Structure formats: C-alpha cells, structure tokens
C-alpha cells in the first residue's frame, strides 16, 4: 500500500495595535468588562 503525503499551509490571524499597553483600558474583573462593553 502506498501512503499519500498531504501538505497543509499554516494560517495566522494577528491583531496588532499602535496603542501602547499603558494607554489601553484594563479589565480586572467582569464588572470592568461590562462597563467598557456598555460604553461602546
């Protein structure tokens, strides 16, 4: 029996932002996430 070789390409999804980490909103608990979600 002959085996068949299959090549699979790698797919990457990357999100990059120019906002510094120190300027981003911090989510420390679920209430923080809710407040940010409601604002937006």
Structure-block tokens of residue 20: 């510094």
Q: How far is CA 25 from the centre of its chain?
A: 15
DSSP, collapsed to helix, strand or coil, labels residue 28 as: coil
Specify the pLDDT at position 4.
83
Q: Which residues contact 1 (CB under 8 A, 6 or more apart)?
A: none
State both tokens at 35: 């407040």
| pLDDT score at 10 | 94
Query: In the structure, what pLDDT confidence band is assigned to residue 5 with cuts at 50, 70 and 90?
Result: confident
CB of 36 closer than 8 Å to CB of 25: yes
Query: 8-35 pLDDT, tens per residue?
Result: 899 999 988 899 989 998 999 999 999 9
When pLDDT is cut at 50, 70 and 90, the band that residue 6 belongs to is: confident
């Amino acid at each position: 029996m002959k085996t068949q070789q299959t090549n699979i390409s790698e797919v990457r999804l990357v999100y990059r932002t120019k906002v510094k980490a120190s300027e981003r909103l911090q989510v420390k608990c679920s209430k923080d996430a809710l407040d940010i979600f409601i604002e937006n």
